[in-house]
Amino acid sequence: MKIVGSYVSPYVRKVLACLQLKGLAYEIDPITPFYGGDAFERISPLRRIPVLIDGDLTLCDSSVICAYLDEAYPQRPLLPSEPKDRARARWLEEFADTRLGDVFIWGLFYQKVVHPIVWKQPGDAARIEKTLTADAPPTLEYLEAQLPAEGFLFGEIGLADIAVASFFRNAAYAGFEPDSGRWPKTAAFVARAFADPALATLEPFEQAQIRSSPAGRRAALLEAGAPLAEETLGEPAPRPGVMTL
């Protein structure tokens, strides 16, 4: 099984943590979508990550991939058993992928981290300010009302927990962490999630990547012990995609 996508992407992180929960081995081509070549675009027409390749099957979109993993490899289910809980878990995954993605990825991480590194230009300062003052607070207020004071959403850690927590790692890379005084349940939940082995085992690879240049990424990840694929779909120079902001 092969994953195409960066360890630092929250969507890739979600899939990799679910693979960890299920005990499934994988290899990874750790490219960011901006560095994907023509071969990458053929398998990911929106130039988004992750991409899963499992035998003759190629899938895009993290939610589609996780749903496939849960059906094809039913050991250690990712969703709760009760229909109402399953529906709520799917909603929270969607909320994370859509709203937390807009706030913490496009509003913060892309502007403060990706834009200067990839495009060699500063990010949008007005958007960063709007994210911090207008967008993030009500989003966190909603999560504060949804997340448990202890443990995880539906017993043991699952897809919904991983999906929600994943975006906070990128927010932290961009210098933002939830205020434990203002949003205590959210801050504690995120800390618990990242202490779980499903996510904790990925952190050394993320650190190796975040501390290296795009050109030195593969060498840094190999040194950290990441299960890299022999071939890459990446190329040296970045290019914008149809969904680049």
For position 213, what pLDDT does the model report? Answer: 84
pLDDT tens-place string over residues 176-200: 999 999 999 999 999 999 999 999 9
Give how many domains the chain has, as a whole number: 2
The verdict on residue 27 lying in a domain is: yes
The verdict on residue 230 lying in a domain is: no
Each residue's pLDDT expressed in tens, for the chain with a length of 245 residues: 999 999 999 999 999 999 999 999 999 999 999 899 999 999 999 999 999 999 999 999 999 999 999 999 999 999 999 999 999 999 999 999 999 999 999 999 999 999 898 888 999 999 999 999 999 999 999 999 999 999 999 999 999 999 999 999 999 999 999 999 999 999 999 999 999 999 999 999 999 999 998 888 899 999 999 999 999 999 988 887 654 44
- Within this chain, do residues 90 and 59 fall inside the same structural domain, yes or no? no
* Segment 173-182 long-range contacts (CB within 8 Å, at least 24 positions apart): 173/8, 173/109, 173/113, 173/210, 174/104, 174/108, 174/109, 174/111, 174/112, 174/113, 175/108, 175/112, 176/104, 176/108, 176/132, 176/136, 178/140, 182/140
The verdict on residue 233 lying in a domain is: no
For position 245, what pLDDT does the model report? Answer: 42
pTM exceeds 0.85, yes or no: yes
For position 240, what pLDDT does the model report? Answer: 74
For position 117, what pLDDT does the model report? Answer: 87
The verdict on residue 236 lying in a domain is: no
Strand 51-54's sheet: what is its strand order?
27-29, 2-4, 51-54, 57-60
- Within this chain, do residues 88 and 124 fall inside the same structural domain, yes or no? yes
The verdict on residue 161 lying in a domain is: yes
Per the listing, tokens 């834009």 go with: 115
The boundaries of the domain holding residue 20 are 2-77+203-224
- Within this chain, do residues 91 and 151 fall inside the same structural domain, yes or no? yes
